[in-house]
Amino acid sequence: DVQLVESGGDLVQPGGSLRLSCAASGFMLSSFWMAWVRQAPGKGLEWVANINQDGSDKRYVDSVKGRFTISRDNAKNSLYLQMSSLNVDDAAVYYCAKWGETTVTSRYWYFDLWGHGTLVTVSS
């Protein structure tokens, strides 16, 4: 089956660090841009970070720049999110998502595969 499975979510104190992982199966991660998206309790979806196929291009939402690092290990078919200096606003379910692209008529990008998410709780 084609799927993404996140892990690593936990309860962490403000100021702490955490590393999330996303294991891909059924397809080659190395062929696709990947992303992390989060959903805070009672809130909507928020894009967090993107990474290109070889890890040379990384982009972040302003609120996590300098604190979060997205990375990948294509040999392990895995995506990661290293989070540091966590604050209560970072508490959320974090989803791993695969970017799909079509160029049939025009070029469109979209998340065509998502994981079920992993919960990050930030509390003292």
Residues that bind another protein (CB under 8 A): 4, 44-47, 50, 59, 61-62, 95, 97, 100, 102, 105-106, 108-112, 114-117
Nearer to another protein, 27 or 47 (CB): 47
Three-class DSSP category at 29? helix
Nearer to another protein, 23 or 61 (CB): 61
Q: How far is the CB of 22 from another protein (least distance, A)?
A: 12
Distances, alpha carbon 55 to alpha carbons 7, 10, 23, in Å: 20, 26, 16
Per-residue buried b or exposed e for 47-73, using 16+ beta carbons within 10 Å of the residue's own CB? ebbbbebeeeeeebeeebeeebbbebe
Nearer to another protein, 76 or 116 (CB): 116
Measured over the CA atoms of residue 66, residue 114, residue 80 and residue 40, the dihedral's sign is positive
Q: How far is the CB of 114 from another protein (least distance, A)?
A: 4
Token couple for 39: 């959903």
Q: How far is the CB of 95 from another protein (least distance, A)?
A: 7
Q: How far is the CB of 57 from another protein (least distance, A)?
A: 10
Nearer to another protein, 78 or 118 (CB): 118
